[in-house]
Copies of this chain bind each other. A is one copy, B any other.
Amino acid sequence: MPVLTQIAPSGAARTVGQPDALDLLEQFGTTLRVSRDEEVYAEGDPADYCCRVISGCIRTVRLMEDGRRQVGEFLLEGDLFGLEDVGTHDFSAEAVTDSVVRRYPRRMIEALAETRPALSRRLRELMQAGLRAAHERLLRLGRKTATERIASFLAEMDRRSAHAGPTFLELPMGRADIADHLGLTVETVCRVLAAMKRDGVVGIARTGVELRDRRALRALGAE
């Protein structure tokens, strides 16, 4: 099954048949099924593999001694993760929903990158994108209010999602995951979403939000 050629470089749908340098890894990949809340790998595990989300949603998680939790990022269909870890994983990776993950041995990636400039370039591009995203989130956590964080998070998910409906944005993760991603509490996430609903910016469902006013949302996100 030519899984990878169905999946876009950045997670959006891409023309089937377009070759991707990452396809070079395909023959060394193994498929992994992870059910909801199951770990793909744990913090501290040897970072022998890089992974790619085939379907579902994965979160990276860092846990502090006292239980405080940071969700580093949410990975969607097509996204790679675990690429940055060397030696051991700094964050664990857990399934937000039942997911399928394809796993590639890091040694094989490194070896192939030595002789395949296209792959090497592709990896570099992916990490550049990861860095830019991380810096964006740094601003979000460092200087934005709760409302701005949530608005910009929704806008980000909107951009990254496969756009099932033009107006409904699916959020596979629970409120707690969102809170731990944005440096907030569950209660604040609920309250802010409720306020946005009152203002007619979004409609709220358990599984996602209806984007009633994307312009207002962007404005609230202060981007």
Contacts and interface: CB of A to CB of B under 8 A. Distances in A.
Contact of A130 (B90, B113, B131): B131
Query: How many identical subunits does the complex contain?
Result: 2
Contacts of A113: 117, 120-121, 124
Contacts of A128: 83-86, 127
Interface in A58-82: 60, 62, 64-66, 68-70, 72
A135 B84 contact: yes
A136 to B, nearest CB: 7
A195 interface: no
A115 B114 contact: no
Nearest to A66: B222
A16 interface: no
B90 A132 contact: yes
A137 interface: yes
A155 interface: no
Contacts of A120: 113, 117, 120-121, 124
B114 A121 contact: yes
Which 4 A-B pairs have CB atoms at the shortest separation, nearest pair first? A142-B183, A84-B131, A134-B134, A141-B141
19 contacts: A64-B222, A70-B139, A70-B143, A72-B135, A72-B138, A83-B128, A84-B131, A84-B132, A85-B132, A90-B135, A91-B135, A113-B121, A114-B117, A115-B117, A120-B121, A120-B124, A127-B127, A141-B142, A142-B182
